Structure 1
Amino acid sequence: MSLPYLEEFGWQPHILTVQPDAVEGVKDPLLEKTVPQHIPVTHTGALSIQQTRKFGLGSLGLRSFPQLLQAGNRLLQQQKFDLVYFSTTIFTSMVLGAIWYRRFGIPYVLDFQDPWLSDYYQKSNTARPPGGRFKYEFSQLQAKLLEPIALKSVSHVISVSPAYPQILQQRYPQLRSEQFTVLPFGAPESDFASLPGLEVQQKIFNPHDGKRHWVYVGRGGDDMALALRALFLSIQCDRRQNPQAWQSIRLHFIGTSYAPKGLAVKTVEPIAQELGVADLVTEHPERIPYFEALKILTDSNAILLIGSNDSTYTASKLYPCILARKPILAVFHYQSSVVEILQKCQAGESVTFNSDSQPENLLVEMTNAVQKLLDLPNTYIPETNWSTFKPYTAKEMTRKQCQIFDQCLAT
């Protein structure tokens, strides 16, 4: 999202990435069209997942590490670069920053979109980590070994959540507070502007079937069970009092699992079944292409944002939801930045909880919020405060990124 604006703020990017064919999971060829054509891109290969899977190894970070190292070495030897920037959840690749700094003296910046090393699932007795316990424990073993290496010589750390800098400073006392900046993903205005011309089709629901479609696009997981139970319990109670209003409502939960196609486990429908609203809820656990997800948002009648009981969780999908210009109902931990941003921008309703909350505690507030959503006309457009929203746009976020890059060179 930053690529179209970097040169405006004095930076010329060169992308180093893995070939799409080496990536397991959903691919969106349209995403390549969002990269300005004049920006150079160097692709690398990766070890075949069919081969590495025999040894229980599927991680793209490990499969592509030797190729990324080799390609990066070659680029840094042949061309003049001022800084290396890592913005990825393939955390293993961040170690390359330390290697290249030691070899070439080039400063590097790490962008933590999620926690790398986390004790959330160790502390939780009920939440099941995405991908299962074994995969999670293996990834956390890697993190314990590699995160200290990646952070040893880092010039700056960007994170989407204000909680991450506090955690990392406690873990690595040598890092100073001025080396951290909280900077969420920018709102992709240009992607929404280009969406009609791309003629993207979504296959989840028919927006012209006379139903009212409420959608959630994003991951699921046991840590979201509290928010889901509160939502479904309120629907169950309201439907008993007002059954006619719910005859046309359909709730769709899309992309809730990280697992490959055919292996995805549903985590939303079982809760809907438990609370007696399964006839209204459909879960599509497989991930979908990016632009199809945007199309689903714009085709919907309302957007749901489901939060984790982890107070540090920040939904990067918030800004696309606001840009879709649909009514939003968010159910989030009260400390999440999602709540503050929605309120400041007047972009939607939120129901908040804390670590000790139970679904029954939220029933009155949740039912009121759901009733508000029901009462809105199908064509309702929120009166979002766009001037307040402007600092969250991709261009403004890129401006702040480039200011960080400039500071790294100055120091």
Structure 2
Amino acid sequence: MGKNILMICYYYPPLTDVGCKRSVAFSKYWKRAGWRPHVLSVKNPDRTYCSLGKDIPPEGIDVTYTYSLFNIYKFFGIANGLLSRFFGLFGVRLKNYYFYDLFCIPDWFIGWVIPAVISGLKIIKRKKIDIIYVSCSPFSAGLIGLLLKKITGKPLVIDYRDPFGLDYGKYQKVSEKKRFREPIDRRIAEIIIEASDLFTVTTKETEQLYIEQFPSVKNKISTIYNGFDHKLLDGLQEQEKFSKFTIIYTGNFYFDIEFDYFFEGLGILKREGEINVDNFQFLFYGGNFDPIKESIEKHDVLDLVVIKSRIPYVEVLKEIKRSHLQLLRIMQPMISTKLFEGISLNVPFLATIPSGEVEEIVNKYNPDSYVITDNSANSIALNIKKAMGTKKEFINSKVDFFIERFSREKISMTMLELFNNL
């Protein structure tokens, strides 16, 4: 028989950020499985940091919205800008975001903690809650779960959609400006993890990092992938491909990882006469594209790049289906949701990724993709040229196996199996 579960989710409709998708799927499929989820979310989200839309919760899901006492992202942003200008008068350039480092512990959303704890206690009593589930980020939500666990003694599940408190040196060059906060973040992560009865992350590589850096987590940690809502495919008709050979990218471009070699590769193909404005386009749907304009101009491919603003999610999926390749980039050890979308939509990748977990998944379930792990412009040019010369229809018989393992319905049921052991 299903249990009553309190879901603490800052990111939940009407917010439209990608962080909502996992929690929405869990709440929907847990209810269908006979559990009784009650969601606690924010009434006044920080609109300078979050995207507020017209999305609604799944049918039948009870949601309580509680106010944040204050939203400080915009305020501290202005304050830090004024401080930077002041020191700039003396030729001093500030490298750190000092207001964030000093006052936003563990993150921007600390104003939500006290009201959410109060509301959470009321829900636990009124709904006879059996399990507390917390979706992080924001990581201040972990503090809410921690306090509710200490007060009520209910089992606590911490679900890290994003890693927190880790040393990424194994995979990424750690920024100098983050060193001040690293010991603080690590200690907060450790306290939250130790209080949890179950700790879940979204990749095997992240799981291994936590085990290496927090050995006590070994017996309580599990990987629950983000997956893909395969129900969206039901209403998605086959789309006619763009007349131009199209490589598409949607969402955050991850400017912190190297990207110049991709546009250099396009420049090579353009100089060789392989691609031009009549037969090729790199189509980008997203927000800020300014950081890479210099690279585009340097390699003389501005005419090949089409930049468009964000569009509704279902429309994005249609545009992906119309494309010939989807550019895949990741911030290892995280896995972009684009991986799950692309394979489910049966669109091959131009995957510019490091060797590891994502490479293995792509090779297993999307074998007609082009995987480039050497950050080489020549490799980019060679593989695009090869893809453009491929005349066969892309038929991937492994999509059904992929959806069977990675659909959000499947991963929701996998999570419930872990709950049954609490």
* Structures share fold, TM-score greater than 0.5: yes
For the residues of structure 1 that align with 2:168 and 2:300, how far apart are their CA atoms? 30
Q: CA deviation at 1:14?
A: 1.1
Structure with the larger RCO, 1 or 2 (CA within 8 Å, 6+ apart)? 1
Query: Hey, what does 1:350 align to over in structure 2?
Result: 370
Give TM-score scaled by structure 1 length.
Answer: 0.77
- Give, as a single letter, the amino acid of the residue that structure 2 aligns with 1:78: R
Report if the CA contact (8 A) 1:20-1:27 is conserved: no
Q: CA deviation at 1:49?
A: 3.4
Of 183, 199, 206, the residue aligned with 1:164 is 206
For the residues of structure 2 that align with 1:288 and 1:137, how far apart are their CA atoms? 37
Query: Hey, what does 1:400 align to over in structure 2?
Result: 414
Of 282, 296, 306, the residue aligned with 2:329 is 306
Q: CA deviation at 1:195?
A: 6.0
Map 1:3-402 → 2, pairs under 5 A: 3-19=27-43, 22-25=46-49, 27=51, 29=53, 31-32=55-56, 35-49=57-71, 53=75, 60-120=108-168, 133=177, 140=182, 143-175=185-217, 177-194=218-235, 210-225=243-258, 228-243=259-274, 247-255=278-286, 264=288, 266-283=290-307, 290-308=313-331, 310=332, 312-335=333-356, 337-346=357-366, 348-353=368-373, 357=374, 359=376, 363=378, 365-376=379-390, 380-389=393-402, 390-402=404-416
Q: CA deviation at 1:186?
A: 2.0
Give TM-score scaled by structure 2 length.
Answer: 0.76
For the residues of structure 2 that align with 1:52 and 1:280, how far apart are their CA atoms? 36
Deviation digits for residues 374-403 of structure 1, max 9, x if unmatched?
2346x9544241332111111111111111
- Give, as a single letter, the amino acid of the residue that structure 2 aligns with 1:351: V
Deviation digits for residues 230-265 of structure 1, max 9, x if unmatched?
332332223333345663211123336xxxxxxx46
Report if the CA contact (8 A) 1:249-1:280 is conserved: yes
Are the structure 2 counterparts of residues 348 and 330 from structure 1 closer, same or farther at C-alpha, using a change threshold of 3 Å? Answer: farther
Q: How many equivalent residue pairs? A: 369
Report if the CA contact (8 A) 1:98-1:150 is conserved: yes
Are the structure 2 counterparts of residues 152 and 21 from structure 1 closer, same or farther at C-alpha, using a change threshold of 3 Å? Answer: closer
Q: CA deviation at 1:72?
A: 0.8
For the residues of structure 2 that align with 1:51 and 1:334, how far apart are their CA atoms? 36
Q: CA deviation at 1:334?
A: 0.7
Q: Any unmatched runs of 5+ in structure 2?
A: 1-24, 80-98
Deviation digits for residues 245-292 of structure 1, max 9, x if unmatched?
663211123336xxxxxxx462333222233323212455x7665445
Are the structure 2 counterparts of residues 370 and 244 from structure 1 closer, same or farther at C-alpha, using a change threshold of 3 Å? Answer: closer
Are the structure 2 counterparts of residues 182 and 51 from structure 1 closer, same or farther at C-alpha, using a change threshold of 3 Å? Answer: closer
Q: CA deviation at 1:105?
A: 0.8
Report if the CA contact (8 A) 1:18-1:43 is conserved: yes
For the residues of structure 2 that align with 1:51 and 1:239, how far apart are their CA atoms? 43
Report if the CA contact (8 A) 1:84-1:109 is conserved: yes
For the residues of structure 2 that align with 1:173 and 1:71, how far apart are their CA atoms? 34
Report if the CA contact (8 A) 1:95-1:149 is conserved: no
Partner SS, residue 111 of structure 1 = strand
Partner SS, residue 142 of structure 2 = helix
Are the structure 2 counterparts of residues 47 and 122 from structure 1 closer, same or farther at C-alpha, using a change threshold of 3 Å? Answer: farther
For the residues of structure 1 that align with 2:181 and 2:418, how far apart are their CA atoms? 29
Report if the CA contact (8 A) 1:215-1:300 is conserved: yes
For the residues of structure 1 that align with 2:277 and 2:73, how far apart are their CA atoms? 50
Whichever structure has more helix as a proportion of its residues is: 1
Partner SS, residue 216 of structure 1 = strand
Q: CA deviation at 1:184?
A: 1.0
Are the structure 2 counterparts of residues 45 and 195 from structure 1 closer, same or farther at C-alpha, using a change threshold of 3 Å? Answer: farther
Q: Any unmatched runs of 5+ in structure 1?
A: 197-206, 257-263
- Give, as a single letter, the amino acid of the residue that structure 2 aligns with 1:340: E
Report if the CA contact (8 A) 2:352-2:371 is conserved: yes
Partner SS, residue 283 of structure 2 = strand
Q: CA deviation at 1:343?
A: 1.5
Identity of aligned residues (%): 19
Report if the CA contact (8 A) 1:95-1:147 is conserved: no
Are the structure 2 counterparts of residues 119 and 269 from structure 1 closer, same or farther at C-alpha, using a change threshold of 3 Å? Answer: farther
For the residues of structure 1 that align with 2:381 and 2:329, how far apart are their CA atoms? 15
Are the structure 2 counterparts of residues 340 and 30 from structure 1 closer, same or farther at C-alpha, using a change threshold of 3 Å? Answer: farther
